[in-house]
Amino acid sequence: MKLDFLTRDLIDAGAIDAMVLRDAPAVRILSQTERRDSLLRTLAAKPRDDVWLFGYGSLIWNPTVHFVERSVARVMGWHRAFCLATPAGRGSVDNPGLVLGLDEGGHCDGVAFRISGDVVESELATLWKREMLSAAYVPRWLNLHDQHGTRFGSGIAFTIDPACEHYDGKLEREQIVRRLATASGALGSSADYLFRTCEGLQAHGIHDEDIERLRAEVAAVQSAQGA
């Protein structure tokens, strides 16, 4: 089964869970109860602001949630990094791909989506099925800053858990490039994930030098391999 593009219908139908169970059965998937408890804990810690969601990777170009506003935003203390191995979806057990996480240190420019209060719980329930498949991410409320550095709210951001089984935040650059250039799975290739993220950032006027450099390096490897 090739999913190609992740939609709300596929997420709500449990297609991601089914894909991982089929392609990487050794990965422990969080139960519905565990995901529900995680969501309730996150909502219980909600600041007195509108509910914003901070996207720094695929959420930028495929948010799959209904929102009423979006805005370029910066979070401090975290940076975008290809630090999460994916034995399913964008890679395989034999050649795990890489996707983005928010790792500690620095700052990250991304896109914040404001979700209307009357649909927050249902929208986040869909989001949790997508992002909280395993225990790789820790959802946190982070301060969001505009282009002038002014805080305009707090948003949910999925930060990486460095203690999780699939954390790969210490890879050499050559390994990152090779895996991004060669890994693929039911959701497509890791390279496509990188290219779409780069295009999504550029569409919002966000310049990420490292992501753009990675794109060039991965494209060069693929060209040399005749991909």
Structural domain boundaries in the chain: 8-225
Catalytic residue among 34, 131, 172, 217: 131
Taking the alpha carbons of 222, 166, 112, 16 in that order, is the dihedral positive or negative?
positive
The C-alpha atoms of residue 43 and residue 117 are separated, in whole angstroms, by: 12
Nearest to 106 by CA among 140, 135, 74, 69: 74
Q: Is the pLDDT of residue 85 over 80?
A: yes
The CATH number of 8-225 is 3.10.490.10
Whether 131 sits among the annotated catalytic residues: the reply is yes
Range 133-149 average pLDDT: 96
Q: Is the pLDDT of residue 227 over 70?
A: no
Helices 173-182 and 190-203: crossing angle in degrees, nearest 10, is 100
Phi, psi of 27 (to 5 degrees): -75, 130
Range 48-75 average pLDDT: 95
Instruction: Quote the pLDDT of residue 3.
Output: 61
The C-alpha atoms of residue 150 and residue 77 are separated, in whole angstroms, by: 16
Instruction: Quote the pLDDT of residue 49.
Output: 78
Nearest to 179 by CA among 188, 191, 196, 187: 191
Cα–Cα distances in angstroms (integers) from residue 98 to residues 45, 84, 95, 127, 214, in the given order: 30, 5, 10, 20, 12
CB 61 within 8 A of CB 201: no
Instruction: Quote the pLDDT of residue 1.
Output: 47
Instruction: Quote the pLDDT of residue 226.
Output: 79
Q: Is the pLDDT of residue 2 over 90?
A: no
Nearest to 36 by CA among 109, 99, 127: 127
Range 74-79 average pLDDT: 98
Range 82-111 average pLDDT: 97
